[in-house]
Structure 1
Amino acid sequence: MIYGYARVSTKKQDLAYQLDRLQKAGCDRIIEEKQSAKDTQGRPEFLRLLASLEPGDTLLATVSDRVARDPLDMLLILREIQCIGARLRLLDQALDSTSSEADVTLFLHGWAGKQYRLRLLENTKNGRVIAKAKGVKFGRKPKLNPLQRAQVLERKARGEPYARIAKAFGVSESTILRISN
C-alpha cells in the first residue's frame, strides 16, 4: 500500500500542491492534516497513519518538514517506519529510507526544519514588537467603543442591573462585568 501524507500548519493554508504531487506519485490513500508539526503528538491523523503501516507499505510526503520539523522526531519516525518494515520517501527531496545514508540525511533535514521553525518564530516575535511600537492593536476588536464604555460605567455607577445594561448594548453580561474604571 502506498500512503501519502499532506500537511500544512494552519486551516487557512492550502494542500493543493502536496495533494497533486502525491496523486501523481500513485498513492492508494492520502491522509490530509492541518496541524503544526512542532510535535508528533499534536497530529492525530499522522499518528493513525503510522499505526496503520504494515510491512512493505510506503509512506510518501513531499518534503521532510511535512513529516517532522525536529531532528529527533524525524529519526524516531524513521526508526518506527523501518521497524515496521515499511519505507519513507520524500518526493521533492529525492530521499528514500531504504538508502544507507537515509538516517543521516533525514536527521539533517529535520535539523534544518527545526532551524527554519525557530527563525520563523523569531521573525514573528520581532514583527509583533515593531507593530506594537507603531500602535497596532492585537486581539479581538472591542465590542463597545470608548463612548459606549463610558455610558456603561455611568449606568453601573447608578446601580443599574448588569443584565439590563448588557441587553441595552447587545452584549453579554460578562462583557459588562469586565468594563471597569
Structure 2
Amino acid sequence: MIYGYARVSSNGQDLTQQVAQLLAAGCVKVYQEKASAASAERPKLKRAIGALDAGDVLMVTATDRLARNTRDLLNILHAVKEAGAGFRSIAEPMVDTTSQFAEVVIAVLGIAASWERQRIVERTAAGRDQAKARGVKFGRRAALTPHQQAEALQRLARGDTQRTVAALLGVDQATISRLSRRQG
C-alpha cells in the first residue's frame, strides 16, 4: 500500500493541493498535519510510519514536507526502512529508497533542506529586527496599565495584601507578586 504524508507549517496554509497530488499518485490514505518540519515531534507522521508494513511506501510531495534538517530526515527514513517500507517524493523522483543511490540523494536533499531552514531562520530574525527598529513591541501585553501598576504599589505600601490588590484589579496574585519583586 502507498501512504501519503502532507504537512504545512502554519494554520493559515492549506493542505488541499498536497493531498490531491498524493491521491493522484496512488496513495490509499494521506496523513495530514499542520506542524513545523523543524520539529521531529509530529503525531501524524509517527502514525503514518507506524502504519507501514513490509512492502508499503510512504510518499510525500517534496522532502521538505518531511524534514528540514539532515538528521531528522535520516532518522525518519531509517524508521521507514525499519518497517520494511520504502519512501518516495513526488517532486524529487530520484528520491526512492528502493534504488541503489537513494541514500546519497537523500543526504544531499537533507543538507539542502537544512540550508533552507537556516535561511528561513535568518529571514525571520531580520524581519524581527526591522520590526523592532520600527518600534513594534513583542511578547504579551502587560496585565496592568502603568496607572494600575502605580495604584497596586501604593496599596501594597499602605499594607494591603497581594491577594486583596489582585482581586481589586482583577488579576492573579502572581501578577502582583512579580510587580512587587520588580519594584522592591
TM-score range, shorter chain: 0.7 to 0.9
Contact 1:2-1:59 at 8 Å conserved across structures: yes
- 1:93-172 alignment to 2 at 5 Å? 93-94=92-93, 95-172=95-172
Structure 1, 16-25 or 143-152: larger mean CA deviation? 16-25
Who is 1:75 aligned against? 74
The one-letter amino acid paired with 2:55 is G
CA RMSD of aligned residues (A): 2.1
Cα deviation for residue 154 of structure 1 reads 0.9
CA distance, structure 1, for counterparts of residue 166 and residue 79 of structure 2: 56
- TM-score scaled to structure 1, two decimals? 0.86
> Could you list the per-position Cα deviations for residues 113-166 of structure 1 after superposition, in whole angstroms to 9, with x for gaps in the alignment?
100111111222232233223332111111211111111111111111222221
Q: Percent identity?
A: 43
Give the stretch that moved more between structures: 97-106 or 148-157: 97-106
Q: Helix, strand or coil for the counterpart of 2:91? A: helix
CA distance in 1, matches of 2:69, 2:172: 44
Distance 1:176 1:73 in 2: 43
Shift of 1:83: 4.9
Match of 2:87 in 1: 88
Letter in structure 2 aligned against 1:92: A
Partner of 1:33: 33
Q: Which runs of 5+ in 2 are unaligned?
A: none
Q: Which moved more, 1:78-87 or 1:57-66?
A: 78-87
3-state secondary structure, aligned to 1:88: strand
| TM superposition score normalised by structure 2 | 0.85
Query: How many residue pairs were aligned?
Result: 180
- The 10-residue stretch of structure 1 (23-32 or 169-178) with the greater mean CA deviation from structure 2: 23-32
Q: Which moved more, 1:121-130 or 1:55-64?
A: 121-130
Which range is displaced more, 17-26 or 60-69? 17-26
Q: Secondary structure at the match of 1:93?
A: coil
**Which one-letter code corresponds to 1:89 in the other structure?**
R
Deviation at 1:80, TM superposition (A): 4.1
Q: Which amino acid aligns with 2:118?
A: L
Q: What is the Cα deviation at residue 39 of structure 1? A: 4.7
Q: C-alpha distance in 1, partners of 2:123/2:114?
A: 14
8 Å contact kept, 1:78–1:103 = no
CA shift, 1:37, in A, is: 2.2
Partner deviation per Cα, 1:41-71 (whole Å, 9 max, x = no partner): x123322322331122111111001112222
